[in-house]
Amino acid sequence: MAASPTPSPEDAEPARLPAALFAARQAALAALAALTGPATPASSAEAAGPGSLPAAPKALYPLAVAFSGGADSTALLRLACDLAPGRVQAFHIHHGLQDAADDFERHCVALCGAWQVPLAVVHVQARHAPGESPEDAARRARYAALSEAARTHRAQRVWLGQHADDQVETLLLAMSRGAGLPGLAAMPARFERDGVAFERPLLSVPAADLRAWLKALGIGWVEDPSNQNAAFTRNRIRLQLMPALEAAFPQFRETFSRSARHAAQAQALLEQVAAQDLATALAPTAEEEGGRKGGEGAGLRIAALHALTRERQANLLRYWLRAVHHTAPTAAQLEEVLGQIAVCRTRGHRIHLRVGAGHLVREGPTLIFLPTDTAA
């Protein structure tokens, strides 16, 4: 969809906010109270010009919006401009994965110019490796670019435009893959990555409400043609499954999101238990005992694992591998590891198992992780 000319937030006709969007706006307003930095006069942003950010000695633009030009991020940028005028900047990530990418950038530059919002355009290489999901590769590249842009331009937080429909899609996608609690928790409203705070203010707002609001304001957006490609599992969920859920369970967005919150709470509790078990099971570092070089290689004491139930062993191993070694075992790999731990009762029992991006190896009384490039 396109609307021209695009009105500025000040010139747009007032439109009644849908209830879910009004609630999200109130919550976002309360969260923004902690932001610091003076409002920037419109002339300063104008002088910088669209497509660039002015160099600033302090955080003049503490709030950044990840702006793709689509309906969701356009609504989010408009909301941010309403709530924090003169303190908003925008980051556009140019993936270069489709022919329309340059058109997306031009649209974002034009809209940010009309709204006098400083914009940084970041080009990334999001090509996926053989056997890697294109969606996962693009997501990692996007978050890395957003984190770097936030640090470079001194943004105190970055807003992301995912909404209630995206949350349900993420939950259903996780279920289709047989995910555990971390997957069933779907997307958190707030999280930190690479030292940057990210927030999703629209997670409770249906996509239709955002589009209806933009239409009422006469604000246009761009449509990503890849969203209609049924080769992607997420698109099949959106195009085929979501309409059926809407017809059968009109309140599914709210109830599914509630289930995701319950899963997130349960996962948080499991991580607290795992952290306590790790403190008990973690072997002394190399510096303390002169063992293998590198403290993270010290590993877990097998005797301490034996003192835990099988379920707590699994919980601890997943937590340790993810938090310390940034990898994750498959369900089959974890079951094999647990089986080997159960029978590892003699000094000569050998363990050398492929797990995630490396191997778990027994070294004396300790189970250690070796990345693939160092595993013998």
Closest CA to 212 of 50, 22, 30: 22
Q: What's the total number of domains in the chain?
A: 2
Q: What mean pLDDT is predicted for residues 166-182?
A: 94
Is residue 61 a part of any domain in this protein?
Answer: yes
State how far the alpha carbon of 4 is from the alpha carbons of 8, 107, 114, 163, in Å: 11, 11, 11, 25
Is residue 288 a part of any domain in this protein?
Answer: yes
Same domain, 109 and 150: yes
- Kindly report whether the peptide bond that precedes residue 5 is cis, defined as omega within 30 degrees of 0: yes
**Residue 355 CB neighbour total at 10 angstroms:** 21
Residue finishing a domain among 231, 265, 299? 265
pLDDT in tens, 340-356: 999 999 999 999 999 99
Is residue 4 a part of any domain in this protein?
Answer: no
Confidence of residue 104 (pLDDT cuts 50, 70, 90): very high
Of 124-133, 267-276, 277-286, highest mean pLDDT: 267-276
pLDDT in tens, 193-217: 988 999 999 999 999 999 999 999 9
Judge if pTM exceeds 0.75. yes
* CATH code, 181: 3.40.50.620
* CATH code, 335: 3.30.465
Q: What mean pLDDT is predicted for residues 33-59?
A: 46
Query: To the nearest whole number, what is the mean pLDDT of the chain?
Result: 85
Same domain, 64 and 154: yes
Q: How far apart are CA 149 and CA 65, in angstroms?
A: 11
Confidence of residue 64 (pLDDT cuts 50, 70, 90): very high
Of 36-40, 128-132, 189-193, highest mean pLDDT: 189-193
Q: How far apart are CA 192 and CA 144, in angstroms?
A: 12
Same domain, 204 and 319: no
**Which secondary-structure segment (H or E) carries 222?**
none
Of 72-81, 134-143, 263-272, 322-331, which gets the smallest average pLDDT? 134-143
Same domain, 227 and 301: no
Kindly state the tokens that stand for 335: 């079951």
Given this model, what pLDDT does residue 205 score?
96
| Sheet of 352-355, strands arranged across | 300-301, 366-371, 358-363, 352-355
Dihedral in degrees, nearest 10, Cα atoms 356, 357, 359, 363: -110
Confidence of residue 175 (pLDDT cuts 50, 70, 90): very high
For 149, the domain range is 19-265
Given this model, what pLDDT does residue 125 score?
78
